[in-house]
Each structure stands twice: as structure tokens, then as C-alpha cells.
Amino acid sequence: MKLPRLAATLPLALGACAVLATFSTPVAAQTVRWAAAGDALTMDPHSQNEGPTHVMNHQVYDSLVFRDQDMKLAPRLATSWRITDDPSVWEFKLREGVKYHNGNPFTADDVVFSIMRAKHENSDMKGLLTSVVEVIKVDDHTVRMRTDGPNPLLPNNLTNLFIMDSEWAEENKVTLPQNYKAGDETFAVRNANGTGPFRLAKREPDVRTELERNEDYWGKETFPMEVSKVVFTPVRSAATRVAALLSGEVDFLLDPPVQDLERLSAAKGLVVRSGPENRTIFLGMQQALPELRSSDVKGKNPFADKRVREAMNIAINREAVKRVVMRGQSVPAGIVAPPFIDGYDKAMDVVPATDVTRAKALLAEAGYPNGFSVTLACPNDRYVNDEAICQAVTGMFGQIGVRARLSAQPKSIHFAELPKGEYDLYMLGWGVPTMDSHYVFHYLFETKTDKGGSWNFTGYSSPRVDELIGAMTREVDPGTRAGMVAEVWKTVQDDVVYLPIHHQMLNWAMKDNIDFPVQSENYPYFKLLKFKK
């Protein structure tokens, strides 16, 4: 390890040096060593609907379709798809000659198995498939999916829906998805058998993951496939990640800290590539409980009063967060959806003016002239400067009398606790892989049931909103559907369900011999990476 160079970069604690030591093994020229703050939660492809988990699984598994660098739907295991004469049935033609990493052939049986597995109650992917009522094998390379009425957006829901080998799943007793909430440890959590461009060679959660190029990959003539080995090391410390890139110990950083972007851009042999990310950062509030669990207010719930939610919304100085915390690398938001998606309305993405005096008045009107206390739960290794954002926001809440105690934890803990519904106030970031507003509505605003609202931990429930969310999946007239989407956005915006903070910007830092443009979902497809000659 190149300690003298690191020492000149920044002082390192002994623990940081120990982390950097994991990068120091000599590697071949076509190996890419990369780092990010957090690891995948699991290798089970249907257990968790979470970005870093998808990033890892996209290397090993394939979906039927995926979004390319321009965020357009592109063929993957499905070569074509169409609505049949029955408007409730989609037909997918499957790629022939594809093999899993263990040599098993890919067939329609695997698609049927995988879709039904992903619909299981243990799966966090089931919310994407609520309209699917039947999956039918027509022949070895043709599958039809029947939905409960026309669903013109079904392919959009399949970009992160990975296909497993049904025989492998049966042999290893993983026909059901891992129950992540219950802490299940199954064979699929640390092992994988996909059709993707890389094989899983070594998996040590939160320590190291190694992938080796799949020499039999069906897309080897289509994609660059210049990377022979991928070595991933999660490093929570931003300073240590930067030091590792500067020293040459890693080749690529998925999440360089914004405070170091200038330094990295100016460093010899490095480059930073930037773009808008398909992700919005916001806070959620538990509005349905009769009493908050972490508050000093007893017998009632302050968040149940819209005036309190409005007060907190106008207490947040989003421009200050952008300037001080994000170093300009964010776009202040007034809505919990990025501008990319269908149904986004710029007129609704209006950032409320910060008004401490008005916020205090609203709290007093609601019966809290002296404010109240509450705990803010925040991850510290998931989003760009997540803990620092939460620290800034707690100070802003304090100015209006809301005493928010910050509880910042690793994402592995934050996202294990969040589904239990025990947080009164929490941070969440949301990307929209379907590029459609329905995805936001279905997960974040729909009443929480076993069929929807799986990420709605606010307790928010509106019969009219639920009715429209269900109807828009079956509406084929674009104008009528657009009216439904607009009505839901107006309703939830008026109800102040969430507190938007900003749309996240995307930066990738890497050695300058790497040709790897950013992708707005923040998914690095290493099969697309090329080395400059």
C-alpha cells in the first residue's frame, strides 16, 4: 500500500488504513476495482427492491428488458414484446441459446418461475407485479403474461425483475424469496446462478465481492465486455474512499463525496463524470398513529395535523442544503419525483419559500406553541451526504421549536428497521425505474396493504387516491390517464404527505483510462465499460 502518497492526501486513522489494505492485491489490467459507501443487502434477486442491491444483481442476472445509457427500454432476455389481440395479455419472445452460469439452458419455464417467485409475499418486488394474474408458457421461448385488465406499462415494471434458474433454485431450496425482514439466511443470499455478464466468484457481505467475466455470455458480441474481473469493496468512510482512488488502490468510485469533487477532477490521472440522477431525497412522517413513539407529546400525534407538516416543510431551507451540504450538487425539490418521469409537472415542483415565522405560527395554531421532540431516523451510507443532510435539517427544525434527535445508522440497519414501521420521522430516497408516476404512487402513497403501499410508512391513506392508482394501470387512453395522474399529484401535494428535499445529482469518479459515461439510474453496467487505448 502506498502510505506516503496517502499521508500526503489526508491523515488516515488506523482503521482506515486497514480498510485500504483490502485493495492492495496486484490485479490484471482488465480488472476493475471499485468502491461505494454501502453494499448490496442480499444476492437474492427478488428479496429487496433497493438500488445497490440491483446494481450488484444486474452484473450477475439478466432481466427480460433493461434501460440503456439513454434510459430507453432495450432487449435483454426478451428480444421483443407486444400486446396480443387480447389487450390484457402481453407476449414476450425470449432469447435462444442462453445458458446459466452452471450450464443449464434458459427457457420459458424460468421466466414463469421467476415472475411467480417475485410475486411471493416475501418479495419486495411484488409491488411491480400486482396486475399480473397469470404467466403462461407458450413454448420454450415464448411467454405470455395476463394482467387484470389492460396494462400498457407492464414492460416498464420488468427492468429490475431478474430471471432465475428454476432447477438451481429447486436444488438449493430457494424456490421462495428470502424473508429479509425476518433475517432469513438462505443459499441465494450469498450465492447466485444467473445468465448475466459476470459470475459471482466470492461474496463476503459488507467486506468484498468478486465477479468474473462470463465467457459464455450471450451478449459478448454485442457489448464491449472488456472487464475480466470486478472487485467491489464497500467503504463507509468518504475520506477513505477518496484516498483509495487518489492512491490508485481503486479504479472507480460510484459515489465520490461532493466536497471532494474539485480535488478529484484536478488530480492527475482521474476524471469525474456528472449528470442528473433518477432519485429524489425526502423525509417521511408517521401520520396515522394516535401517538408518536419518540415524541414528548402524549395522547396525540403532531404529524396528524396538516399545519404541522406544512410548518416543517417551510422550515427546511433547501437552498442552504444545496449550497452548504451538497456543494451545489443538488436541485431543490418540491415534489418526490425526479423530472425524468411521465406525469412529472414542473408547476408542482415548486420549492416552498423558507419562512420560520410562518412555521412557528402554524405550530402554535396546531396547539404546539413550544414545539415538540421527535427522533429523525437517517441512513449514513446510502445517499450522497445523507447524514449531513439530516444534521442540517434537524437544525432547521430546531429554529421553529421541533427538537429532532438524529439517529443515523448504516443502511443495512435503517432499511431493516424501516419496513417494521417503527420510525416516526425518516429519510428516504426514491428512484423511478419504470419512468412513470404510477411507480411513485403505488409504493409511496397507496394505502399500505399486501398488494400496495409497501414503502408507505407514513400511514397516509386516501380512498380516492387508491382508486385512481388502481385505475391508471388499466387505462389505455393517454389523455384520460394523464388526468388521473395529475389528480393524484395535486391531492398528495395538497396533503403534504412527504417533505421533499432535493433531486440528487450523480457523479462518478474514475481513472482517466476508463470510458464509462454515467447512467441516470446510477447503475454501472460493467459490461459496457471500455478501456481507453
Q: Which of 371, 376, 380 is nearest to 405 (CA)?
A: 376
Average pLDDT over residues 195-202: 98
Residue 434 forms part of a structural domain: yes
* Tens of pLDDT, residues 322-331: 999 999 999 9
Q: How confident is the model at residue 71 (pLDDT cuts 50, 70, 90)?
A: confident
Confidence at residue 29, expressed as pLDDT on a 0 to 100 scale: 53
Segment 188-216 mean pLDDT: 97
- Single pTM value for the model: 0.82
Residue 25: pLDDT band (50, 70, 90) is very low
Please check whether residue 66 lies inside any domain of the structure: no
Does the pLDDT of residue 113 top 60, yes or no?
yes
Amino acid 311: pLDDT: 98
The CA distances from residue 240 to 250, 383, 471, 502, 512, in Å, are 11, 17, 49, 26, 20
E-strand ranges in 392-461 read 402-409, 425-430
Of the listed ranges 4-18, 79-93, 197-211, 322-336, the least confidently predicted one is 4-18
* Angle, vertex CA 162, rays to CA 157 and CA 164, nearest 5: 145
pLDDT for the residue 522: 92
- As for how many domains the chain has, the answer is 1
Position 340 scores a pLDDT of 86
Average pLDDT of span 157-186 = 96
pLDDT, tens digit, 9 for 90 and up, residues 28-49: 459 999 999 999 999 999 999 9
What's residue 512's pLDDT?
96
**Residue range 133-171, pLDDT digits in tens:** 999 999 999 999 999 999 998 999 999 999 999 999 999
| pLDDT for residue 335 is more than 90 | yes
Tell me whether residue 258 is in a domain.
no
Q: Domain for residue 261, yes or no?
A: no
- Output 21 or 300, whichever has higher pLDDT: 300
What is the share, in percent, of the chain residues with pLDDT greater than 90?
Answer: 89
Q: Please indicate, yes or no, if residue 300 is contained in any of the structural domains.
A: yes
Torsion of CA 479, 484, 486, 489, to 10 degrees: -160
* Predicted confidence (pLDDT) per residue in 342-382, tens digit: 999 999 999 999 999 999 999 999 999 999 999 999 999 99
Q: Which pLDDT value is given to residue 489?
A: 98
Instruction: Give the three cell numbers for residue 50.
Output: 433497493
Contacts of 88 (CB under 8 A, 6+ apart): 146, 147, 148, 149, 150, 151
pLDDT over 90 (residue 261): yes
What is the reported pLDDT for 270? Answer: 98
Burial of residue 483 (number of CB atoms within 10 Å: 0-12, 13-18, 19+): middle
In this predicted structure, the answer to whether residue 2 has a pLDDT above a threshold of 80 is no
* H or E element at residue 281: strand 270-285
Average pLDDT over residues 103-132: 96
**How confident is the model at residue 6, as a pLDDT?**
29
Q: Which contiguous run of DSSP H or E holds residue 358? A: helix 356-365
Name the E strands within 23-147: 31-36, 65-67, 73-75, 78-83, 89-94, 132-139, 142-147
pLDDT value of residue 4: 30
Residue 43: closest CA among 192, 194, 223: 192
**Average pLDDT, whole number, for the chain?**
93
Residue 400 is part of a domain; what is its CATH number? Answer: 3.10.105.10
The pLDDT of residue 154 is: 95
The Cα 127–Cα 135 span in angstroms is 16
Kindly tell me if the per-residue pLDDT of 461 is higher than 90: yes
Distance CA 189, CA 169 (A): 12
Taking CB atoms within 8 Å and a gap of at least 24, the contacts of 473-476 are 473/131, 473/147, 473/149, 473/151, 473/153, 473/438, 474/131, 474/147, 474/148, 474/149, 474/150, 474/151, 475/150, 476/87, 476/150, 476/152
Q: Is residue 528 a contact partner of residue 223, using CB atoms and an 8 Å limit?
A: yes
Quickly state the pLDDT bin for 18 (edges 50, 70, 90): very low
Cα of 324 vs its chain's centroid, Å = 25
What is residue 374's predicted lDDT score, i.e. its pLDDT? 98
Nearest to 312 by CA among 500, 502, 494: 500
| Residue 14 resides in a domain | no
How many angstroms separate the CA atoms of 314 and 357, rounded? 10
What pLDDT is recorded for position 70?
85
In a domain? residue 130: no
User: How high is the pLDDT of residue 8?
Assistant: 31
pLDDT of residue 17: 43
Q: Which domain holds residue 323?
A: 277-504
Q: Report the DSSP pairing between strands 78-83 and 330-332.
A: unpaired
For 479-532, how does the pLDDT look when each residue is reduced to its tens digit (9 = 90+)? Answer: 999 999 999 999 999 999 999 999 999 999 999 999 999 989 999 999 999 999
Tell me the percentage of the chain whose pLDDT exceeds 70.
Answer: 95
In a domain, 491, yes or no: yes
Mean pLDDT of 398-415: 96
